[in-house]
Amino acid sequence: MRLVVLGGGLSGMAAAHELMDKAEITILEKESYLGGLAGSFEMDGQFLPIFYHHIFPHDKHTLKYLSEFGMRDTISWKRVKVGIVADDKVWDFAQPHELLRFAYLSPLGRLRYGWFGLRTLFTLNAASLDASLDAKTWLLRAAGKEITEKIFVPLYAENKFNIPLDKISAKQFAMRLVNKEVLGKFGYPSVGLHHFVSEFERHLQKKVDIKKRAVVKQIDLEKKEVTVGSEVVKYDALINTIAVPEFLSIAKKLPTPLVKRYQKVKYCPAVEVAFATRHHLTNHYWLNLFRQRFGLLFQHSNLHDAYPFKFHWALRYGGSENDLHLSDEQIFNEYIGNLKKTIPIGEILWYRVFRTKYAEPIFTSDYVKIMPHNRSGLAGLYNAGTATVFPRIRNMDASIQSGERAAQFIASDFDIS
């Protein structure tokens, strides 16, 4: 059985891993490296993650591969500080004693926020929420007007997707809350994410044909052929892991119902400044900036302090479509200039700017009706990647799981299990 995997991110790598002993597999990756958004760049002899990543103890799919490649014991686990920047002040609000001092909310708002947090931790059944329920309706009922408008509108509607809260899926948002992202332990392998992806690639190379810088011109879904440059690669099954709009631009003879469905899948982009300083900026790993030039500051060195400098990401999701065309210098000056108004930074040793047009699907309240499924419904076409993981949160573990599930469907459909 001949399998083509379109995209060499973690979902494509996981799919290939599942079937590498059962099929003739080709991975087509347009970049010069594998890993997708989990890729790395080199600076001063160090390989650094392009975008922020961390591991949770419940990320069983990621941990399985780390174990297989002999890296699970290299993970260091930490409880990190998470906060917000609002009204030009850094607020800690994740712990009960911090919530008492959280003057960004009224005294009644703080009590209600604490009660909402307790219910989220101990009684919320996110999976039971109706997939069509919007986040605003649910939050107004569960958390109240003040918390919805002062916390979750800037946090999720503005910083995340740049669409109104009543257009966002409550179920997917609630899944983020029950994952206890701000309260649980965070992990990162001491050998680095680059080493993990490299070992994954080395393992696949034993039996998988990996083509990098492979720009796909066209996919003929009837003939089951992929045109890469002047080469035509035939397949029995194709797993698409790239962004849905990119797939639509090269897929020929895709049935009209699937075209119309996939055209409704929209993405938010991301623009970030990765930069280094001599010292930690604050003692937080994760800061959400409300109504600022960018929305997220991750201080990677507060989780993994293994470099001769302190490493950070200033990242914008929602609204970053307006920044994609700006020069690196403009983005650096605007993001870091804005950050300096609140947090002393000191000398910046170096910086790099990264952009991606397709950072994450926008999980709207109707996403369950338009999402691509692992089995597409068209013979020979399967999907994996972040567009297929709803209602799970989009992270490395969900991406890996989506690749495994697509591979399992193929193994069943082609009787190669």
What is the structure's pLDDT at 122?
A: 85
Clarify whether residues 260 and 371 are in a common domain: yes
What is the structure's pLDDT at 70?
A: 95
Q: What is the mean pLDDT of residues 62-86?
A: 95
CATH classification of the domain holding 230: 3.50.50.60
Clarify whether residues 391 and 278 are in a common domain: no
Long-range contacts of 329-336 (CB under 8 A, 24+ apart): 331/271, 331/273, 332/273, 332/275, 334/293, 335/273, 335/293, 335/294, 336/273, 336/275
- Residue 43 pLDDT grade (very low, low, confident, very high; cuts 50, 70, 90): very high
What is the structure's pLDDT at 180?
A: 66
Q: What is the mean pLDDT of residues 361-371?
A: 96
Clarify whether residues 242 and 331 are in a common domain: no
User: What range does the domain containing 230 cover?
Assistant: 2-32+212-265+364-413
Contacts of 321 (CB under 8 A, 6+ apart): 162, 268, 269
What is the structure's pLDDT at 317?
A: 97
CATH classification of the domain holding 70: 3.90.660.10
Domain count along the chain: 3
Query: Rounded distance, CA 219 to CA 216, Å?
Result: 8
Q: Which strand ranges, in their side-by-side order, compose the sheet holding 237-240? A: 209-211, 24-28, 2-6, 237-240, 381-383
What is the structure's pLDDT at 73?
A: 96
Q: What is the mean pLDDT of residues 98-124?
A: 89
Of 188, 417, 211, the closest CA to residue 304 belongs to 188
Per-residue pLDDT tens for 230-284? 999 999 999 999 999 999 999 999 999 999 999 999 999 999 999 999 999 999 9
- Residue 211 pLDDT grade (very low, low, confident, very high; cuts 50, 70, 90): very high
Assess whether pLDDT exceeds 80 at residue 417: no
Task: Work out the mean pLDDT of the chain and round it to a whole number.
Answer: 95
What is the structure's pLDDT at 59?
A: 95
Query: Rounded distance, CA 281 to CA 172, Å?
Result: 32
What DSSP character marks residue 331?
Answer: H
Clarify whether residues 170 and 106 are in a common domain: yes
Clarify whether residues 275 and 384 are in a common domain: no
Clarify whether residues 355 and 398 are in a common domain: no
What is the structure's pLDDT at 181?
A: 67
Clarify whether residues 80 and 120 are in a common domain: no
What is the structure's pLDDT at 312?
A: 98
Clarify whether residues 254 and 369 are in a common domain: yes
Clarify whether residues 145 and 111 are in a common domain: yes
Clarify whether residues 303 and 343 are in a common domain: yes
Clarify whether residues 171 and 86 are in a common domain: no
Cβ–Cβ < 8 Å for 105, 147: yes
Clarify whether residues 334 and 350 are in a common domain: yes
Contacts of 306 (CB under 8 A, 6+ apart): 190, 192
What is the structure's pLDDT at 92?
A: 87
Residue whose structure tokens are 């712990």: 95
Full DSSP string of 118-181:
HHHHHT--GGGS-TT-BHHHHHHHHT-HHHIIIIIIIIIIIIIISS-GGGBBHHHHHHHHHTTT
- How far is residue 84 CA from its own chain's centroid? 20
Q: Which residues pair with 314 in a beta bridge?
A: 273, 297
What is the structure's pLDDT at 117?
A: 87
Per-residue pLDDT tens for 175-207? 988 776 666 799 999 999 999 999 999 999 999
Assess whether pLDDT exceeds 80 at residue 97: no
Domain-embedded: residue 337: yes
Residue type, 405: R
